[in-house]
């Protein structure tokens, strides 16, 4: 059954009116003959669910809602198009892997390819293209919030990695992992899932390709980091083992990929010092990967919103790398500084402004500096992108005090 048939003469409530909520409203008005469309931005206890046939919940609203009447853009899109969807999830690397795969497919296959999902494009924005072209393929970045409670999985699933994150939303790592697992839980025979070595054994009927980590440089990438070598390996496996594309053609496209903003992005040089923006870093492993990837790294700016995740791994890394100065800002910066017992290579600072002031006095010609917070931006910035742009501004421009 198509989405339009499902919603015919039905009373629909859109719960949450952000980017996805507005997209859902536009979709319903354009394509569906509903009985009514209402918008709700209140709390769960204020929800009058009995008044509606279906409730389209936005991903930012926490909680489990397994009842049939609750759905989401992700679930609706998969219900109609799952046979033509390549879904990508993981704690880190989703956007880079999704964008890299999209580039490869756009250049190597004749099918129409659309890029949707958590990367910033609501999937129902491409409903018409997918419905009118039976050969069109969707490359879809899928966050844990978008996967939570879905009961359909994509034909091809990519599950990059699994680390502690979003404990403020899920409460426990186990619940977070369960949400992620939905990318493959409802796959059927004939489907394929590509999973990383940190991903536990999956409960799926799909053919599973396990992709182990490796230390060698397999690809001549334009983007830094061993973790991106691994992301490239996923893209190659999907294209070669999944879609049967020519391996050398795939590798050539992978190696021409130039990366995304705020993901180990080289933003320029000032006074002989190279600066990198890795604002997308919201967990310890992302920061560790950044520090391992940048040549001549002298200073790293860390810290942000405290969501209750563990920082032992990063603290151990800090103590083992005394040649890097860590500027510890905001709530998690202070927490790391104290939990690490105030190591000599850490300095507590108020915010990014003070961190950059200190860095400029500490670094020398030929050194490198990275913003890689290992924490969320919320409470201090609107999102990681705003945080990264602010970092660029204060590094290269005078900031009003």
Given this model, what pLDDT does residue 94 score? 96
Stretch 356-370: mean pLDDT, rounded? 96
Cβ proximity of 86 and 245 under 8 Å:
no
193 SS3 class? strand
Cβ neighbours, 10 Å, residue 215: 6
Q: Does 54 have pLDDT greater than 80? A: yes
Residues 344, 214 share a domain: no
Q: Given a cut of 70, is residue 84 above it in pLDDT?
A: yes
Distances (CA, A) of 29 to 23, 318, 369: 10, 53, 49
CA distance 345 to 298: 10
Tell me the per-residue pLDDT of 231-274, one tens digit each, with 9 for 90 and over.
Answer: 999 999 999 999 999 999 999 999 999 999 999 999 999 999 99
pLDDT band per the 50, 70, 90 thresholds, residue 167: confident
Cα 230 from chain centroid (whole Å): 16
- The pLDDT score that the predictor gives to residue 399 is 42
Does 82 fall in a domain? yes
Tell me the average pLDDT across 338-349.
Answer: 97
Q: Please, are residues 279 and 285 in contact by the beta-carbon 8 Å criterion?
A: no
Interatomic CA distance for residues 18 and 265, integer angstroms: 28
C-alpha span between 347 and 328 (Å, rounded): 6
Q: Is the pLDDT of residue 333 over 70?
A: yes
The pLDDT score that the predictor gives to residue 398 is 53
Is the domain of 111 the same as that of 229?
yes
- Identify the domain containing residue 42 by its residue range: 3-71
pLDDT band of 401, cuts 50, 70, 90: very low
pLDDT averaged over every residue in the chain: 96
Q: Judge whether 233 lies within some domain.
A: yes
Considering only CA atoms, which of 61, 69, 53, 56 is closest in space to residue 10?
Answer: 53
Give per-residue pLDDT as tens, 2-38: 999 999 999 999 999 999 999 999 999 999 999 999 9
Kindly tell me the burial class for residue 68, based on how many C-beta atoms sit within 10 Å of its own C-beta (0-12, 13-18, 19 or more).
exposed
Residue 400 counted as domain residue:
no
Residues 147 and 246 in one domain: yes
Final residue before a domain boundary, out of 71, 93, 113: 71
Domain contains 260: no
Has residue 207 been placed in a domain?
yes
283 plus 320 within the same structural domain: yes
Cα atoms in the Cβ-side hemisphere of radius 13 Å centred on 345 = 15
Whether residues 214 and 232 share a domain: the answer is: yes
User: Are residues 99 and 197 both part of a single domain?
Assistant: yes
The answer to the question of residue 401 being in a domain is no
pLDDT for 179-229, tens place per residue?
999 999 999 999 999 999 999 989 899 999 999 999 999 999 999 999 999
Strands of the 85-89 sheet, one edge to the other = 113-117, 137-141, 85-89, 156-159, 192-196, 207-211
In 3-state terms, what secondary structure has residue 333?
helix
Domain containing residue 285: CATH number: 3.90.190.20
342's CB contacts (< 8 A; 6+ apart) are: none
Q: Does 339 score more than 70 pLDDT?
A: yes
Residues 216 and 277 in one domain: no
Looking at the fold, whether 235 and 283 belong to one and the same domain comes out as no
387 located within any domain? yes
From CA 283, how far away is CA 272, in angstroms rounded? Answer: 29
Q: Which of 367, 352, 224 is nearest to 290 (CA)?
A: 224
Same domain, 297 and 208: no
Number of structural domains the chain divides into: 3
Please indicate, yes or no, whether residues 111 and 249 belong to a single structural domain of this protein: yes
pLDDT of 395 higher than 90: yes
Q: pTM for the complete prediction?
A: 0.89
pLDDT (average), residues 304-308: 94
Residue 310 lies in a domain: yes
Confidence of residue 166 (pLDDT cuts 50, 70, 90): confident
Q: Which residue has the tokens 């991106």?
A: 228
Q: pLDDT confidence of 400, banded at 50, 70, 90?
A: very low
pLDDT at 105 over 70: yes
Q: Are residues 135 and 227 in the same domain?
A: yes
Confidence of residue 146 (pLDDT cuts 50, 70, 90): very high
């Amino acid at each position: 059954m198509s989405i339009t048939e499902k919603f015919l003469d039905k009373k629909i409530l859109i719960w949450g009116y952000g980017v996805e909520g507005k997209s859902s409203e536009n979709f319903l008005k354009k394509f569906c003959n509903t009985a009514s469309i209402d918008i709700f931005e209140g709390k769960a206890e204020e929800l009058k669910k009995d008044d509606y046939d279906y409730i389209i919940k936005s991903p930012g609203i926490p909680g489990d809602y397994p009842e049939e009447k609750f759905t989401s853009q992700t679930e609706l899109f998969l219900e109609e198009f799952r046979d033509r969807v390549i879904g990508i999830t993981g704690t880190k690397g989703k956007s880079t892997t999704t964008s890299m795969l999209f580039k490869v497919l756009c250049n190597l296959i004749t099918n129409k390819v659309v890029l949707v999902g958590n990367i910033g494009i609501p999937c129902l924005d491409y409903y018409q293209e997918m419905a009118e072209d039976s050969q069109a393929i969707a490359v879809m970045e899928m966050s844990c919030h978008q996967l939570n409670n879905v009961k359909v999985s994509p034909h091809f699933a990519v599950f990059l990695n699994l680390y502690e994150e979003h404990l403020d939303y899920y409460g426990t790592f186990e619940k977070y992992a369960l949400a992620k697992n939905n990318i493959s839980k409802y796959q059927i025979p004939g489907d394929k899932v590509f999973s990383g070595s940190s991903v536990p054994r999956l409960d799926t009927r799909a053919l599973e390709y396990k992709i182990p980590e490796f230390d060698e440089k397999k690809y001549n990438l334009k983007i830094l980091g061993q973790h991106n070598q691994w992301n490239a390996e996923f893209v190659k496996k999907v294209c070669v083992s999944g879609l049967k594309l020519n391996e050398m053609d795939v590798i050539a496209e992978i190696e021409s990929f130039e990366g995304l903003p705020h993901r180990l992005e080289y933003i320029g040089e000032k006074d002989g010092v190279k600066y990198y923006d890795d604002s997308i870093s919201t967990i310890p492993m992302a920061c560790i990967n950044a520090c391992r990837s940048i040549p001549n790294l002298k200073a790293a700016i860390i810290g942000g919103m405290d969501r209750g995740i563990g920082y032992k791994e990063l603290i151990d890394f800090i103590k083992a790398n005394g040649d890097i100065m860590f500027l510890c800002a905001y709530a998690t910066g202070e927490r790391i500084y104290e939990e690490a017992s105030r190591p000599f290579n850490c300095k507590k600072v108020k915010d990014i402004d003070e961190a950059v002031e200190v860095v400029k006095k500490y670094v020398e010609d030929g050194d490198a500096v990275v913003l890689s917070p290992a924490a969320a931006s919320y409470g201090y910035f609107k999102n990681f992108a705003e945080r990264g742009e602010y970092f660029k501004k204060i590094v290269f421009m005078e900031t009003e005090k």
